[in-house]
Amino acid sequence: METKPSERVHCLIIGSGPAGYTAAIYASRANLKPVLYQGIQPGGQLTITTEVENYPGYPEGIQGPEMMVDFEKQAARMGADIRFGLATKVDFSQQPYKVWIDDEKLIEADAVIIATGASAKWLGLESEQRLNGYGVSACAVCDGFFFKGKEVAIVGAGDTAAEEALYLSKLCTTVHMLIRRGEMRASKVMQDRVFKAPNIKIYWNTDTEEVLGEKKVDSIRVKNNKTGETQIIPVSAFFVAIGHQPNSEIFKGWLDMDEAGYLKTIPGTSRTNIEGVFASGDVQDKIYRQAVTAAGSGCMAALDAERYLGAKEIH
Ligand code: NDP
C-alpha cells in the first residue's frame, strides 16, 4: 500500500466543512502548523445547499458554496496547509498516528482532528437528484424558510423527520408527511406533537415514486404500498429526512462510536477514547448538525489539540 514516503505533521485535520476549517483557523493561529485534507467533497454538506440565512455574521445570507470558499480562504490566510485528498485508512495503535491518504500517501501525525462530517441519506430517485437545491432538500432548518406560506412534503418517520415536520408546520400552510410503514419510529413525545399539529397531514404506508417538476419541484407522485393506489400531491418543496450516515467508517475498531456510527467524545470536550485524537462536527453530532455548532466544535478540537500537544511537549 505504501508507495510514497511518509510525511510527519504536527496536527492533521481530516475534513473540510465548518468544523474542519474552523479547527484549521484556530490550530494555525496556535502555531500547530495544521495540514488539512479536504476529502471527497471539499466544503462538505454546505456545498450542496443554496442560501444559508442562519449563520451569524452574514446579515444578508450567503450561498452555502460561497461561505465554504470564505472558510477555506480564512484558514489558508492563517497558514493552514490545505490539500485535496481522502483519508482512506488509519492506524491509531501508537504515536505518531498513521493516516493514509488516497490509499497511498502515509501521514504521521502527533495530533489528529477528525471533522469528516455526515452525509444525508437519499431515497435514490433520479428526480430527487435532478431537483436537489430546486425544492428538494435534506435540511428543513436550512431551506424551509424559502417555502413560507407554501405546501411542502417531507419523507421520513424518525425524530429528525418529526422535528423537521413540526418546524415546517410553523412556516408552511400544509406539510404532507410520507411514512413508509403503518407507524412512526420517532419518540412518543415527538409523535404526539406531530399528531397534534393541525396542518401536518400524514400518509401512512406511503412510498414516494417520483418528484415532479421541470426546473423546480411542483408536485410529487406517491403510492400507498398496501392498496397500490397512487396520487399526485402538489407541493413546492420535498424534504428528505430519512437519516444521516456519519462518515466514520475508517475509524471502526479504533474509536468508540454509537450503533449508528457517530463518534463518541467525552462530554464537554472533543476528546475521543484515544488521546491525541479529537472529533468535531457532524461525525460526532446527531442532534444539532448546524454549520455554527460544527464550527464551534471545530474550535474546541483545535484548543483541545493545542492543550494536548503543549502538555506532551510535542512541538
Ligand atoms: P432514524 O434512522 O431514526 O429514522 C429514519 C427514518 O427514515 C425512519 O422512520 C425510516 O423508516 C425512514 N426511512 C429510511 N429510509 C427510508 C426510505 N427509503 N423511504 C422512506 N422512509 C425511510 O433517523 P433520524 O435522523 O430521524 O434520527 C437519527 C438518530 O438521532 C435517532 O437516534 C434519533 O432519535 C436521534 N435524534 C434525536 C433528536 C432529538 O433528541 N431531539 C432529533 C433528531 C434525531 P422506518 O421507521 O420504516 O425504518
Cβ of residue 139 lying under 6 Å from some atom of ligand 1: no
- Residue 45 Cα to ligand 1 midpoint, Å, equals 19
- Residue 161 Cα to ligand 1 midpoint, Å, equals 7
The model's confidence at residue 53, banded by pLDDT at 50, 70 and 90, is confident
Q: Is the pLDDT of residue 269 over 70?
A: yes
pLDDT, greater one: 220 or 2: 220
**β-pairing, 87-91 with 219-224?**
unpaired
DSSP conformation class of 309? H
Q: Pick the atom of ligand 1 nearest to 124's CA.
A: 18
The model's confidence at residue 1, banded by pLDDT at 50, 70 and 90, is low
pLDDT 10s digits, 272-298? 999 999 999 999 999 998 999 999 999
**β-pairing, 34-37 with 81-83?**
parallel
Mean pLDDT, range 148-153, rounded to an integer: 98
Cβ of residue 181 lying under 6 Å from some atom of ligand 1: yes
142 is catalytic: yes
- Residue 8 Cα to ligand 1 midpoint, Å, equals 41
Q: Is the pLDDT of residue 5 over 90?
A: no
Q: Pick the atom of ligand 1 nearest to 157's CA.
A: 9
The answer to whether the beta carbons of residues 111 and 304 sit under 8 Å apart is no
- Residue 276 Cα to ligand 1 midpoint, Å, equals 32
299 is catalytic: no
The answer to whether the beta carbons of residues 15 and 117 sit under 8 Å apart is yes
For residues 119 and 295, what is the distance between their CA atoms, to the nearest angstrom?
Answer: 17
Q: Is the pLDDT of residue 2 over 80?
A: no
- DSSP H or E stretch at residue 166: helix 159-169
What pLDDT score was predicted for residue 207?
98
Q: Pick the atom of ligand 1 nearest to 123's CA.
A: 18
Q: Is the pLDDT of residue 313 over 80?
A: no
The model's confidence at residue 238, banded by pLDDT at 50, 70 and 90, is very high
Which candidate in 11, 103, 110, 143 is catalytic? 143
Cβ of residue 296 lying under 6 Å from some atom of ligand 1: no
pLDDT 10s digits, 245-254? 999 999 999 9
For residues 7 and 19, what is the distance between their CA atoms, to the nearest angstrom?
Answer: 24
pLDDT, greater one: 4 or 114: 114
Among 9-13, 63-67, 80-84, 259-263, which is the least confidently predicted range? 63-67
Q: Is the pLDDT of residue 315 over 70?
A: no
139 is catalytic: yes
The cell numbers describing 193, all together, are 406533537
Cβ of residue 243 lying under 6 Å from some atom of ligand 1: yes
Per DSSP, the three-state class of 211 is strand
What pLDDT score was predicted for residue 142?
83
pLDDT 10s digits, 98-140? 999 999 999 999 999 999 999 989 999 999 999 999 999 998 9
CA–CA distances in Å: residue 225 to residues 117, 150, 181: 34, 27, 9
Cβ of residue 282 lying under 6 Å from some atom of ligand 1: no
Which candidate in 11, 142, 172, 299 is catalytic? 142
What pLDDT score was predicted for residue 112?
98
For residues 212 and 128, what is the distance between their CA atoms, to the nearest angstrom?
Answer: 9
- Residue 170 Cα to ligand 1 midpoint, Å, equals 21
Cβ of residue 286 lying under 6 Å from some atom of ligand 1: yes
* Domains of the chain from N-terminus onward: 7-119+244-314 (3.50.50.60), 122-240 (3.50.50.60)
Q: Pick left, alpha or beta for residue 224 (phi over 0 → left; psi -120 to 50 → alpha; otherwise beta).
A: beta
Among 50-59, 70-79, 126-135, which is the least confidently predicted range? 50-59
Average pLDDT over all residues of the chain: 95
Length of the chain: 315
The model's confidence at residue 52, banded by pLDDT at 50, 70 and 90, is confident
